[in-house]
Chain A
């Protein structure tokens, strides 16, 4: 059982992580690199708009507004960019293996309580993780492009951790304590961090255009939804395989 928790968590994390790496490369990395051009000053958000009279002259702004050529950032520093991607993608695997291990541990308890390892349940486990880890904290701390000033990092990290823990507990209550009191407690746990409020700057600002940030948030959630769905589905598949009625010697199985 112990080995199964680790093995299933590891493999589900690797499966989901592989897809997250691909989606990060296709969806979010281009926007991160573009945002860094605004951060470094290579691009300027209001370029051309500062002079009166050109505000509505779209021709004059074309250069600044044109979307970047695909891979424009990549040519600048080929090798260091490859190294940067390699590290980021390794980190994706580390994060998703970590989520996989946590989910696997919780699923082992759920199975012990009689929950089936159907793909439907797997998808629900994944969606519960998506809500707990992405949606709940994201309501207060939206996914951020580089170059956007934000409140004190430590305060945000603490709020993020507390919110994820509360939301995960709420998911557990919804799943296993299916009575009005449990559901009310779950809703309270979901709401509480937002009643307290996430650390937030009084005045928001940012070097990149709001539209770029909006695009980024949408894509970040798409990546997360794909990753968590796949994590839950592969978790159910892996635990289902283990639960197949194979003749297993009963004693001393727990190595």
Chain B
């Protein structure tokens, strides 16, 4: 319990010192671009390349 609390506090301190809006926003933005091409873009080359993945991972495909 004590260890847990200490660890949580350490994490909190590190996070508070280092939470990076650039990192959070940048990572999410990068991810959205990747998801757009792999999961949503309908141009034939993206659709055909990612076809089986879209079906397996249950993105709306056709």
Q: In the complex, which residues of chain B have a beta carbon less than 8 angstroms from the beta carbon of A24?
A: 52-53, 56
> Interface digits, B31-53 against A, CB 8 Å rule (1 contact, 0 not)?
11011011110100000111111
Knowing A95-B57, A153-B42, the reply to whether A5 touches B24 (Cβ < 8 A) is yes
Q: In the complex, which residues of chain B have a beta carbon less than 8 angstroms from the beta carbon of A28?
A: 52, 55-56
Q: In the complex, which residues of chain A have a beta carbon less than 8 angstroms from the beta carbon of B27?
A: 5-6, 9, 101-102, 104-105
Tell which of B20, B34, B40, B42 touches A97, judged by Cβ atoms closer than 8 Å: B34
What's the least CB distance linking B11 to chain A, in Å? 5
> Interface digits, A86-120 against B, CB 8 Å rule (1 contact, 0 not)?
01111110110111111011101101111111000
A91 close to B50 (CB less than 8 A): yes
B7 close to A95 (CB less than 8 A): no
What's the least CB distance linking A20 to chain B, in Å? 8
Interface of A is mostly: helix
Inter-chain CA distance A92–B32, complex, in Å, is 15
Q: Which residue of A lies closest to B54 (CB)?
A: A91
A146 close to B23 (CB less than 8 A): no
What's the least CB distance linking B14 to chain A, in Å? 6
A250 within 8 A of B: yes
Q: Which residue of B lies closest to A99 (CB)?
A: B31
B11 close to A98 (CB less than 8 A): no
A153 close to B60 (CB less than 8 A): yes
A6 close to B52 (CB less than 8 A): no
B28 close to A157 (CB less than 8 A): no
Q: In the complex, which residues of chain B have a beta carbon less than 8 angstroms from the beta carbon of A141?
A: 58, 60
A146 close to B55 (CB less than 8 A): yes
Q: In the complex, which residues of chain B have a beta carbon less than 8 angstroms from the beta carbon of A138?
A: 58
Q: Which residue of B lies closest to A160 (CB)?
A: B60
Question: In chain A, residues 45-104, which have Cβ atoms closer than 8 Å to a Cβ of chain B?
Answer: 84-85, 87-92, 94-95, 97-102, 104
* Chain A residues with a Cβ under 8 A of chain B: 1-6, 9, 20, 24, 28-29, 32, 84-85, 87-92, 94-95, 97-102, 104-106, 108-109, 111-117, 134, 137-138, 141-146, 150, 153, 156-157, 160, 220, 223-224, 243, 245, 250, 253-254
